[in-house]
Every structure is written in structure tokens, then in C-alpha cells.
A and B are shown apart, each in its own frame.
Chain A
């Protein structure tokens, strides 16, 4: 008995000690089917999620917080410092000159684009292993992701100039030395982008078969339009023979900018534009004209304005080539909408903060289709003197309203895109323009509905951006009573492509061809203006301006800036043209919004003097990125 007990105890002790041999099993707590990356490519429905993942990085263009081209330039202004801003005004800091390399404004784009490129590459590496994916669909998906890869690179090049190209992913455990990549010369960047689009375009559909479900996916017209834009960008002065950037050199001596102008780049741009236009037009894309759906037929005046407003805000109108479904425009519309209906002053969703500086208001043509400074019929007009609106102007300005000359006799785009003190606001529930007195009209002096009231919202310059606001949005009094018809941010529309084509063609030839005028005139016609030739010949103080390449270049640039105003184009265009230093010379001004009497209100008031230096052409690379990758060279001036 005693001996047995002892044995039992010995066995007990041994079991205890040997117990740990099974420890290893005890620690296997992780079940086999934990999700790993491979699970994403085991079947079509999962792989489709990865396709969506690649799309999810699309820059949020319609968001003033994210897109530098809305508030980062000289086109739109907002309240710089406010205790409780409705939205983050970071981008406005770029416009105010606070860009820095320490913590660059908008730096997240760099991070996001490189993350996006890694995911795109993962997709391209692994999509081949999905068993239940049909060949044609697989090809289309690959083409879409290749296109996105191209677009993401292009987005980086526009911001940073030459950037490291991510053609393939580096493995996670790669040697630290290999991850220290260098910037590729701009020509290589454009060449790689072009190559990707060329590879993709053949497998892309001409139109979306299932618009209800798939609108927003990449099509062949989108790919070719982007290519056109890429080629025009590559041929533009900023990237074509830019000697100012000649000192931007990698540590190994690689020059990142070409310094000799190559006119042939314009030739290939022309070809790309022409091809894109052809494919777009054959896909049913044409210039948009308003067809009233709400009530009875509207007046021609309003009809033209509605064509110009709705070409941007009407979802999937026939002019849209590419609209970004990852960027809907609810908040943008809120921060653009003033108290149109003056009954609803307590509606907190009507922020109405975005404003156009006076120089942008001046940029629009006169009713004669020529710049205000060139219009010989207006010679001697003092644009900032007041006069009362006459009856015939009551579709533009409230009857009997006293306002500045600048607001009278302007082209339809002025009235379609901008709203101002005394200006008529069509829509928002009131559609009967046969009774102009019933239409909404803004009142913006201090103490009035849309005048300066609260610190952190409301009027900034005196001009509101009507273009962003869909005319059928419904406003009410409550906190949530602003029903917004959102639209995907249009990245590319046919007018843009036409103007790119005209620009490239003008640059490619010694003198403007008929084709150049033709494409500009198509855009002008929809805007209710006469042809370039007629308008200049009849009304301009410089009637032969359009006949020279240089003159026509100016006309095209101005036309583009007006037509595509507030669409996030001007920011990039004036850099691309290297016209930014000149444009920034002109101060940001508004009316004296602290005033309640018209004579004082309509005094020009300086908001800020902007400046544009060499360094401002490109974003600074964040200092810390250069610290941990010494192969990255900083952009000039930062």
C-alpha cells in the first residue's frame, strides 16, 4: 500500500513536469481559417472587393477639405480663421502661403497614392489565380486597375513633379536598401503613365452596360480622355523644356526635368485629343443642353444659364466623360449654398461660405463674349460704380436694385456660376421665370439675410459659387431640412476635352487653324456667345488677337478658365501654363462685407496679397520622408 502511494506520487510529479511537453499545443490558439490576403482571390465575388479597394483611393475631388484645387489657389476664398469652422480649412492655408515642408498641407495624397499603387499591384499580381472569373471580365478588371495605376501616378506627378514610379511591389521583407527608391524623371513618369493607359484601353468597354449599377467605372472614353490630358500636360511649358527646374537632379546625377522644349510633344497631344474626342462622340457623349423637366418651358436666358449650371451638377448628363462616384458633393453644396430662401435663416446646413474673389468675377466675358478689359463697347466703364437695374435686366438682377456695373451685361456663365447681392437665383423650388419677381434674389449687405452675421460662416467676398449648387435642392427651416441632389464630381467633360484639343492644336501649328476656332466656338456657342472670330472682330479693342498663335493661346486659356471655373482645373492649368506667378500678382479682393449701405458695401476691400514663387509649382516632399529615404531629393525651394 505504502509503496503504491509513493509510485502514485512519483507519477504525479513526472506528469506535472512533462506536462509542458504539450505546452506547444496549448499555445495554438489561432484557428486555421483566419482571413489572410489569399482569401481575397479565392473567388470572383471576393476579388471584386479588391477591385473596389483599388477604386477606393480615388481622390475626393469634390471635397474642399481634400482637393487643393478648390480652396488652395486663387479661385475660391473662405473665412481663413474661425473659432468653429463648419469644415476644415486646411487647403486655404496653401492659398494663404502657409505651405511648408515640415508638415505639408495635403501630404496625405502622397501616402494614399502610394498605398493605392501597392493595392493595385497586389491586385494585378493575384487576379490570375481567381478560378471563377471569366476571361473577358478578368481582362476588363485588369485594364481598369492599370488605368487607376496610371491615374494615381498622374495625380502624383501633377502635385510633385517627378516621383518614384511603383511599377511592381517590393516584398515586405525586402532589404532596407532596396526600399529607398529615387524619383524618376518627368519624361519617364509620363511615358509610364501613357504605357499603362495604352495597355488598358483595349480591354475597356466603350460604354457602361449596366448604368444603374456600374456608372463611374472606367471606360475607354475615360482612358483616352485621360491620355489626352496627360499628353497635353507633358507638352505644357511646366514639363516641356522647363529650364527653371534644371537644378532638380537626383543624387546620382539623373536630371529630373528635360530642359529643351520639344514641340513634337504637342503633336502627340493633338493625336491623343483627337482620338479621345472621336471615341467620346461615338460613345454618345455630346455638349449638354438643358431640357426643362420641372415646369413649363423657361425663358432662353434661364435656359442657357441652366445648361451651364447643370452641365456640372446634373448627374451623368450627356457631356460627362468621367465622374468620380467616390466623391459625392453633399458637403460642398452645403458650404456653397447661401440662404437662398430668406425664410430659412436658422437652417444650419446653409453655410454659404465659399466665395469668388473679385478678380474671378472680372475674368468672365461681357455679354459680347470678350474680356471686360478688351470690350470696346464698354470702354471707359467704371466697373465698380453703382447703378439701378432696369426692368429688362430682371432675370439677372432684382428690379430697381442698386449694384455695381461689374454685375451688368455679363456673359451667361457669369450669371450661371456666380450669385451676388441683388442677383437672381433661379431654382430651389421657384421655377417660374416668366414672373421674374417671384424668383429668389440674394441680399448680402450687413444685417441682411446673406450679409455678414455669424463669425464662422456666410459671406466672404460678395460672390457665392452658384455653380456647385444643384438647382433642385430643397431647403427648409429645420436642422436637417436641406435635401441635396448630390452629383458625382465630374473629372472630365467634353468641353474640357474640346478645349484641350484646341489648345494642343494651337500649340502644334504656327498659326491657328479653323479646327482650333471650331472647337473653342462649340463651347462658346453653348455658353450663348458668338464665335471667337466674330466676337473679337466686332467687339474687341484687339480685333485680330485670335489670328495669331499667341493671341489665340490667350483666348483659349481664358476660355478654359471661364468654362471650367470652379471645377478644380484652374489650379493646375495656370501652373501647367506657367502663368501662375502672373495670376497670383492680382490680389484677392472682395466687397466690404462689414457694410450695410450699398455705397460702402461695394468698395473693393483687400483680403490678401498672394504670391507665387518658383517653389510653389510643386508640393514639398515632407521633410521626414527625405530623412528616412535620402535618395528622395526635395523639390526646389523647399
Chain B
């Protein structure tokens, strides 16, 4: 596949780099390699088998060791009637005995055992046959194991400088004597030496260089063999994260044990899912897990933009042992992602194209305009029988009759603003390969996500959401010397966004907040206005109403985000100092920036002046004077952050006397980040973290494992005395299935391991970013809030002094004590189960001292590390794989996470009512009134306990329970209501199967134990650093539309349904009805058919014809079905139901690879 000049260029570049480094580095570092005691010499095993074939022997070896075998089943099954009874021997000794006298031989490469036909014997045989025959030339073809021709393979005659290179179809011709030996070599492949003998045609199959045959798990600052890991780490196959979305985080829910995740919005660019490792166990500021991509701390947006194709490993670290090394940063769990690196071999190119169609999973039903008017009138009359009716009978009748739609408009704003579906595209390319000296992985991707907004053709700009994302990544590994490896990673990620000025979700909200009957979206140009250049938007009265169409098309916003990342890493093997020692240094810098610019005109508003029904003629006129025909301009916020990071590690890893494995790790880290527009002096100071941490492990005979970790970390946030924290942890594991007594069970339970860990982790991000330095007071010496004015004409104004924080030296880390009990189980090599139970206890949670009375006169609340909370739960994952025959395979997976939390110590008043205390309640527990029903009439309302919310109420308003029976409904009657506001249970399950060239996979995801509330007040919910605006669903307030569900079921004087969905209508907020209560509480549990994918891979025969190594086309669908008791909108959006809906996506994809 070396046709393209580009690829040849890449290869040439690699060779150049290779040479350069040899020259430069070898002259600088004259480092000698140490000798390695290989695994084959250390692994010991016991065998007692009678009358078995070789395959069974191999299985037994495999079970006791970490060897992987490569063999032809047919060949090894032919070696029968073996009896082996050996103890404490190496695999070599066993194989030597078993293969004696057969035509098979073996080769051990690291942990791979290759069993093959004994070439030597064959050759001897042939030699005897055709002795002394001399060849003048040899020809043949070189292919890879799949039979693909390999061009560019070097063939040299050993001991000479003679050599040729295979041509495009892999064939060669070389002069050789029968005594010569030919060496076939090619980058990334095992070289082969062939004796020419008397052969005239030598066809050679070259194998890929086998690397890392053993499975490793990524752990903090390194990796460990999978079998020896004690900490609780979930590893996901990155392939499982491939969903037809440009946002990786949307794939997280239900696909990883131990992660609680949910998605609230479907708006491109704003659709990050929220995710927490094992739930939330703190009521402090930071609840988010630490996200590390190639060791660099990044944000969830960076994670969202990562391409699944580029991910080599994705792990979630959950317990103290797994995260202790991150010390002060790991308390909320760690998500560790590494990107792919190049492997030796010819350039491997993989391309993926996807085109998807997305549409809302569910649209909210809004009552029609006529109902809107009738009910709006009802809302006025029911509260005030003498009130002014907003809509006349005549208007209602004419609208209903469908009279002139400009004069009697009946707008379906949603139809006017939104399309039914939209198309999104994604493309992804990666190339990897390399030689002995350097390896590369280069990837680029492009995605384009469109919103569902309509565009007015009279504007020449696009106000629809158009989010383009470009990313580029280059990972290069260079062997500077035999013991030194250098890695350079560069990546850039760029978002270009164009969209409506206030974002897509705001447009959805405007639909809800706009009056449907006062004016049309715009008037057509009529005779009197034919000179008009602008769109004649509709409005009413003085033009103070919201015309959502005008808001949408009046302008657009350009937004850009870019992130550049450069990383340099060097690894040095120090085995020459002492066996098993290596060191590593890594430094990276990261710049993230974003800005936005809006351009818009001020709409001209028009309204109908008069209408003559007999002639159907109307007259319109302009009602505002501040419209513009040209665009105005507004610069938005700009964000710029720089981060730099250094990490140095020393690693020691050695096995003594074959059974005692010891490892040690010492890490030093330093991290700094700076914000360009922090807002104030204290926030502008750099954020820094530093510390050392370490790990020591000891394992005996692959049966008993122990591990000790510590983190000793410092943060700039605390006073000198409290700056450093020590976070130790320890763990033990027992692999029962490796015990001798387990042998008989092994065929059934092939693996059983128990693990336990206990330890501390910290969290330094306890306060908001503006509240970093608790040990310093924060005084604004020039505060306008404390300004005073004097003088005859108020001429002297001086700002005052505002204390926004009082110094407190004692503020320190939040610490978390975590315990983890786990069991790993493999049944018949087919079913893997990992079940874990965890507990967590957080101390020192920063919280507001409620005990300090207001009479202290503090201008800021006092905070202290007094809160405590605990959490516990289980997570289970299961997978199953079965290959039935060469044409048919199946697999299934499932996982389940349950995480719950509760307050242990909370500074709160001494309530007279015990139920008011938060102690023992979930951290996400909501409090509210118990709503019994609606009042039947005013008389009943007057005779029930007074509901003291400051406002009138009566028949049709919500009746609450007087829990403490004091004769009035007050704050003291609020009780914990419903489930927590984030799900306690998240689960997923799915299966895949393949038959011949077809594959099919399906995945379901669900969550449970969660409540949410229909939003009935203007609600801004802040969680962590983000805040979401939930639209008030109360109808008629500020022209808010009425949901069909409310129109269908509300209390009215004619229909006194005391269990109606909505209370008595009103045009204003009724304080009595907007209290948090069980009335508007809903169950957020759901199960959704999240993903279905059907793929077809072109059979090899056809692939060869078009010179591809892999070609797969697939169709997939996301969010196909939803099962939930809640029907108003997609329940996963919870209280944000009137925002940008979640999307159902149908996707067509193509994946092609070339070797």
C-alpha cells in the first residue's frame, strides 16, 4: 500500500528521525543495556495430567502462567497420549518433554509461546532428497499472515551486501546459492531467515512483531498486569464508547460499572453528560472526578471531544488504592484515558465516515392557540371575577374560525422555529506505524453538528447551530537508545460554533415564553411597505412582547474554543544500575481559549392598526423606532487558561526467586494553572499543586498480593500549617484460583480473586474558585456595595470597604476514607464477573457555619471543615463471550451501579422536628411540603391550617399537610420528599453477535431512584461550576404557553378536580403553589433502548480486490425507545424538559483501513 506519495513521505520521515536520533543520542548517552531475567525463566508450574493431548497441556500451562500460546489446533491435537507429572518446572521443561519426538518445535518470545512445525527436520529431509543441487536464482512472494502482499520487504543474503526489495505485489527475485541463507526483513514484522537449499521459489509469510501479549491495566502513573491489580479500576473497551455522537460523555451512562451519568440537554456543544464516580459523597464544591488524558488534568469538555478511535485505554479508578497516588485530587475518583501510540509496522491507515440524522426524542405538547386564549381568560376570571379579559370573545371566535391569519394569528412557534430533523457529519482518519527507532500515531478528525433551527432566507447569515470540531493528534515514540524512549504528543482541538445569539436551549425556552395569538412572526410586504428592506416582524402594543422568530433570525453568534497541548516524556531503563529500575519524566503545557462574538440587528416591529372584515383588508404600521437594518455587534466573554505540569517517576519492578514479585514507584508532580481573566486579584494567582506519592507492591506466587500507596500533596489553597496532606492506602488480594487446591475447579471457575482495599484520599477544591484562599481575608477596598454619597447635589461618592471573607487558618483538605471489597470471577473462560462493594466516609467537608447567628453581623458566611458524609454502594459488571464456530460469535455485557450517600455531620439548627435534620438523608435529597390535594373551595382553604407563603390562596390551590400539627404550614413542615435528584442506580446491558460478515449489537440503559420536579418557579440550579436555567412551566405568566397536559387537567370552577395536574389557573405566580412539594414531584426512573448497530464487513476476498484490510459499513441508532412513566418530555432531561431536547440519532457509517 505504498502507492501514495504521502505515505511514502511519512515513512521517509520516520527513517530520517531514526537516523537523526541514532547520531545525536547515541553520542550523548552511551548507555548499556542490562540483562533481563525473562518471564519464561521465572514462571513455575505444576502439572499432573494423564492421557491427554497437547492442547490440554497447553491449557494447563496457560492457566497457571501468563503465557499466551499460538499454535495450529490441528497440529497440537495430533500430539496425543501424553502423560505429564512434573512439579515446579518451567514451561520450557514441560514443552521440551511433550514435543520430544514430534515434528513440532516451539519458540518463546517474552510471554508468547509459538508452537510450529520443525523446519529443521523438514529441511534435513529435503536436503537428503535434492542434495548438492545448485540454484542460480530464487524468486517468490512475501506476504503477511493474512496473505496480503508486502511490497518493500528487504531480502538480503546473509554475509553479503547483496539484497533486493519486493515490488508492489510482494514478489522478488534474487541470486542465491543453495548454501545461502536469506533474511526477509520489514518494519514492524519479525525478520525471517530461510535456508535456500535447493528451492527455486521461496514464499515467505512475515508475522507482525508481537508486543505486550499480556493484558495490562492502566493504573496511576503506570500499568500493572491485569491479574495483580488490587485497586478498583474499571476498564472499558474504547470500542464500546463509539456512539453516533460527537460527544464521548454521552456514551458513559450504563456502560461503566461505578459511574453515575445522565444527560440533560441535546443541544450541540452543550450536551455533555454529567458523570460522577460512585455517586456524590460530598456537599462541598467539587464533586467531579479528576479527568486525566495521557496524564494531563483536563475538563469534561476535553473528554467529550476525544475521539473513541484515538483511545487506547479508558479506565475509571474508584477506590483509595487506585487513586491514592493522586492524593489531594482523587477523592471523587479518577478517569484515566490514554491515547494510542504507534506500533512498529507499515503505515496503517484507518478512515471512518459517519452521517447521522437527528431529531428530538420527544417534543413537549403545547396547547393550541385557541385553548391558550380561553384558558388565559379563565386564569384571569378565576382569580378575579371583575378582572380585565385579555382576549375578547370575538378574537377567540375569529381565530378559531381561521380568519385572516395575520390579524388573528395562531402561531405554532415551535414549527416556525424548528425543523423536524437535522443532519450531522463526522470523519476520522488515523495513521500509525513506525520502525525500530520511532513509531507514530497521527489522527485527525472533523465533525459537524447542526441544530434544528430554521433559517430565514431573507438574511444572508446562518442563525442555526453549526458546531464544527476539528482535532489533530500526533503521538510519536522514539527509541533514543536501547534503554531510553522518548515520547512526544501534540494535540489540538478546535470548536467553531455558529448559532443563535442566546444558544439553542434559549430558543426552545422562548417558544414556551411567547404569546401565540398577539401577532404573526412577520407580515408580508404589502403595497404601503414595498420600499421596506427589512423583515416586518410582528409585535403588539408598544413592542414589548417576545417574538421568538425575530429573536432567532435577528443575528448569530460566532464562538470559538481551542485547546493546544504539547507533551514531552522520556523513559530511561536503569537496569544497569539495578535490575528492574527505571525512571521517567514528563512535562506538558496546555492552553485553552475561547471567545464569542454576536452580530445582530434590532428588529422592526409592526402591528395591525385596523382590519376591515368585509374586504379582508388590514393596515399595519411600525410600532418601534429603535429598529435597525444593519447589524450591531457585541463581544462576549473571553477565556484563556494556561496549564503546565511536570511529573517525574522512579519505578522498580523485580521478581525474586521466581515467586516474590516486588515493585515500587515514587512520583513527584508539580502543576500550575493560570487564568487570563480571573476577575480579581486572588483568583488571578496561579493554582498550584505539588507532592510526592509512592506505591509499593509485593506479591507471592501470583496468589497473594499486597499493595501500599501514599500521596503527600500540597495545595496553594491552605495556610502553611495545613498545606500538605498525607493520604495512605493499602490493599490485599488473593487469587484463590491459583491455589493448588483449586485445580479441580479450574475448568469451571477458571478465575476467582478476592480484593480488599482501605485508604484515604483528599479533595483540595473545597471552595469555589473565587474562594480559594481561606486563610486570607478577602477585602474589597473599593466596593460600590458599601459606597456612600454626600453633598448638596450628591457630588461626593466614595466607595467603601467590603469584607467578603474572613481569614481562617484552619481550613484544610476534605478527606475521604474509602473501603472496597471486590470479587472477580471467571466462569469457564467465558463469563467474567466483577462485583464490588464500597463504602466511603468523607470528613472535613467545607460548609457554612449555620450556628453563627446573624447578630454577629458578618458580611460573609463563615465556613469550616465540619461536614461529614458517607456513601456506599455496589457496582457489578459482567461480560460473556462465546465463539460458536468460525462464522458465528456472540457476546453480552451488563453492568450495574448503585451508589447512595448520606449526611453524617451537618451544621444545622437544633430543630424541634427531627425530620428537618439532614443527618441520615441523601446529599441530593430534596425537602418540601407534602401536598395532599387541591382545596375544594375557598371555604375549605380558609378553614385549614394557614399556609404562610405570603400570598392569597383558595379553592383549587394546593393543600399541604401540617406535619408538626402547629396549626400553620411553615418551613417547619418541610420533610424530605422523593428520591435524590441524581440517580442512585444506573445500569446498562447489551449484546453483540456476528454471523459471517454481519454483526449486530444492541444496548439498553436505565437509571432509577431519582426524582425530579416540574419547574414552577424561575429556577437557576447551580451544580459545581455550571448552572442550568430551568424554565418555569407556570402558564400565562409573562405570556408563558400552557402545556397540553396542564390544559387537559387543571382545577377549574366547573370541574373541581382536586387531583388535577395543575392547580387553579392564574396569570401570576401563586406563592402557595410554587413551593417545593410532592405535588410536582415525578419519578425519573427510565429504561431506554440506547443503541442499535448493524454492520457488514466486506469479506476478505472482496477487500483484497480493492486493497483494503478492513471495510465495514454500519447503520446505528441512538435513543430509539424510552420506557418511563413520565410522558411530558424525555424524562432524562428531568426538570430541564423545556430546554433543547435529547436527540434520537440514526447514523450511517463507513470504516476503512489500509495496511
Contacts and interface: CB of A to CB of B under 8 A. Distances in A.
Nearest to B690: A23
A346 B542 contact: yes
Contacts of B692: 17, 20
A34 B909 contact: no
A296 interface: no
Contact of A50 (B542, B780, B801): B801
Interface stretch (B40-48, B531-539, B678-686): B678-686
B691 interface: yes
A494 B124 CA distance: 130
A84 interface: yes
Contacts of A295: none
B910 A627 contact: yes
Interface stretch (B207-215, B787-795, B1044-1052): B787-795
A395 B909 CA distance: 63
Interface in B950-989: 950-952, 970-972
B857 A53 contact: no
Given A26-B688, A216-B789, A101 B1038 contact: no
A83 B794 CA distance: 35
B873 interface: no
Interface string A1-38: 11001100110110011011001101111110011110
Given A16-B648, A52-B788, A81-B1068, A625 B856 contact: no
Nearest to A176: B851
A281 to B, nearest CB: 21
A27 B723 contact: yes
A29 B788 CA distance: 34
Nearest to B912: A627
B388 A455 contact: yes
Given A17-B650, A24-B723, A328-B794, A52 B950 contact: no
B796 A632 contact: no
A84 B1038 contact: yes
A494 B773 CA distance: 52
Given A20-B692, A214-B791, A325-B789, A27 B714 contact: yes
B415 interface: no
B911 interface: yes
Contact of A101 (B855, B858, B970): B970
Nearest to B972: A623
Given A6-B577, A316-B792, A627-B909, A114 B685 contact: no
Interface in A67-104: 81-84, 93, 98, 100-103
A581 to B, nearest CB: 20
B681 A53 contact: no
Interface residues on A, range: 35 or more
Interface in B542-583: 542, 572, 574, 576-577, 583
Interface stretch (A115-123, A418-426, A539-547): A115-123
A100 B792 CA distance: 40
Contact of A13 (B650, B853, B858): B650
A13 B785 CA distance: 54
A240 B692 CA distance: 71
A55 B855 CA distance: 19
Residue of B386, B650, B782 contacting most chain A CB atoms (<10 Å): B650
Contacts of A455: 388
A525 B112 CA distance: 115
B376 to A, nearest CB: 11
A164 interface: yes
Given A26-B688, A115-B858, A213-B791, A628 B950 contact: no
Most buried by B among A48, A53, A98, A179: A53
A45 B793 CA distance: 22
Contacts of B30: 1-2, 5
Interface residues of B, number: 90
Nearest to A33: B681
Interface string A207-228: 0000111111100000000000
Contacts of B795: 212-213
Contact of B779 (A37, A93, A111, A632): A37
B948 interface: yes
Given A52-B786, A176-B851, A9 B801 contact: no
A455 B862 CA distance: 44
B910 A102 contact: no
Interface string B1-38: 00000000000000000000000000001111000000
B670 interface: yes
A117 B666 CA distance: 55
B776 A36 contact: yes
A56 interface: yes
B854 interface: yes
Contacts of B789: 216, 325-326, 328
A9 B781 contact: no
Contacts of B909: 624, 627-628
A623 B383 CA distance: 31
Given A216-B789, A216-B790, A52 B800 contact: yes
A27 B801 contact: no
A39 B972 CA distance: 44
B777 interface: yes
A176 B793 CA distance: 46
Interface string B656-677: 0000000000101010000000
Contact of A37 (B670, B777, B1038): B777
B779 A9 contact: no
B803 interface: yes
A518 to B, nearest CB: 32
B685 A117 contact: no
B974 to A, nearest CB: 10
Contacts of A214: 790-791, 796
A180 B910 CA distance: 13
A53 B800 contact: yes
Nearest to A120: B857
Contact of B668 (A17, A46, A52, A632): A17
B121 to A, nearest CB: 45
A172 interface: yes
B806 interface: yes
A594 interface: yes
A630 interface: yes
Contact of A16 (B668, B687, B773, B859): B668
B798 A105 contact: no
B1037 interface: yes
B716 interface: yes
Contacts of A216: 789-791
Contacts of A486: 794
Contacts of B574: 9
A49 interface: yes
Interface centre among A39, A83, A316 (most CB of B within 10 A): A83
A344 to B, nearest CB: 13
B792 A215 contact: yes
Contacts of A325: 788-791, 794
A82 B650 CA distance: 71
Given A27-B723, A116-B857, A20 B779 contact: no
Contacts of B724: 23-24
A29 B671 CA distance: 13
25 contacts: A5-B30, A6-B577, A17-B650, A17-B692, A20-B690, A20-B712, A27-B690, A28-B716, A35-B681, A48-B798, A81-B1068, A98-B948, A102-B949, A110-B854, A114-B855, A115-B857, A115-B859, A212-B795, A213-B790, A215-B791, A216-B790, A325-B794, A328-B794, A455-B388, A627-B911
Q: Which 9 A-B pairs have the closest CB atoms?
A: A118-B857, A627-B909, A53-B800, A55-B788, A114-B857, A52-B788, A629-B853, A98-B950, A216-B790
